[in-house]
Amino acid sequence: MMKTNFNALLALAPHKDITAINKFITSSCFTCTGQDTLSFIRKMGYRFNLSDTSVYIGLVKKQFEEACTKFGDTVEIDFFCDVAGTKYFEDFMAVYDKDSFYQEMINFNPDFNYTGNLKSIRSRAFTAVREKDLQNPGEGISYLIGALENALKKIGVNPEDDMNGMTKSLRMAMSIMNDIGGMQFYLPKGDLLKRVVNKIDIYTDSYTMGTQQLAIKYGVSFKAIILVIKSVKQAMKEYEGK
């Protein structure tokens, strides 16, 4: 089952699937065919047609040329792909050469935002899986997150603010674990948290995509998808006491 029309997805920006589709288009230097792009969009689980796909490619190319005309070769493609084709492109253009650019771009980055009607489900699932999957590594992660929460509070930042289903303190913990995990401190590598996030992505998408589409999108087997969905449901059941 396809998720929804791609145009409807654009209205939910920022979204990681929009970024992925824009990166597919820009990575070919806009030489990808409409059919190739349409196939990629459908692989991501969205309905669209060839005519509208060609129009969308043209729009992204036009916006990229507009950005390059205004800012030269300094345009950062990753940030551009977060906003291209969406209502946030003009905001991107307005702040690109400002000192506050990187702070502003957090608002348009799907890693820091999660929109859509599955937000509460995703949040519940993440909390449950995090509790279950992070039990075995010991208390090191809990101590680290606690310290980061206190540090954020001291500078007036809410550590519980949502960042794509993760709190700010947990996002910082992942960054630190990526840098020093398994070395100076008794912490696992950040891959552990990445696996948790990947599980939640699969589980959330399962509400709108079939098992076959999920297997194609995430590059894993049918069986792996089913096992992930079952494990997340079980974690939620145990955590919520149902």
Query: 108 or 18, which is more confident?
Result: 18
> Above pLDDT 70, what percent of the chain?
81
Q: What pLDDT is attached to residue 178?
A: 65
**pLDDT attached to residue 184:** 46
Band (7; pLDDT cuts 50, 70, 90): very high
The angle subtended at Cα 114 by Cα 109 and Cα 119, nearest 5°, is 175
pLDDT at 92: 92
Predicted pLDDT at 242: 56
Asked if residue 19 lies in contact with residue 81, where contact means CB atoms within 8 angstroms, the answer is yes
Q: pLDDT exceeding 90 applies to what percent of the chain?
A: 37
Give me the pLDDT at residue 50, please.
97
Helix ranges (H only) for 28-118 are 34-43, 50-71, 77-83, 89-95, 101-105
Average pLDDT (213-235) is 91
81, 26 in Cβ contact below 8 A? yes
| Chain centroid offset of residue 183 CA | 28
At residue 105, the pLDDT reads 77
Across 47-56, 126-135, 204-213, least confident range? 126-135
Q: pLDDT by residue (tens digit) across 96-151?
A: 888 777 667 777 877 666 666 677 788 888 888 877 776 654 445 666 677 778 77
Would the pLDDT of 95 be above 50? yes
Asked whether the whole model's pTM tops 0.75, one would answer: no
**What average pLDDT does the structure give for the chain?**
82
Q: What is the pLDDT of residue 54?
A: 97
115: left (phi over 0), alpha (psi -120 to 50) or beta: beta
- Residue 222 has a pLDDT of 87
Q: What pLDDT is recorded for position 165?
A: 63
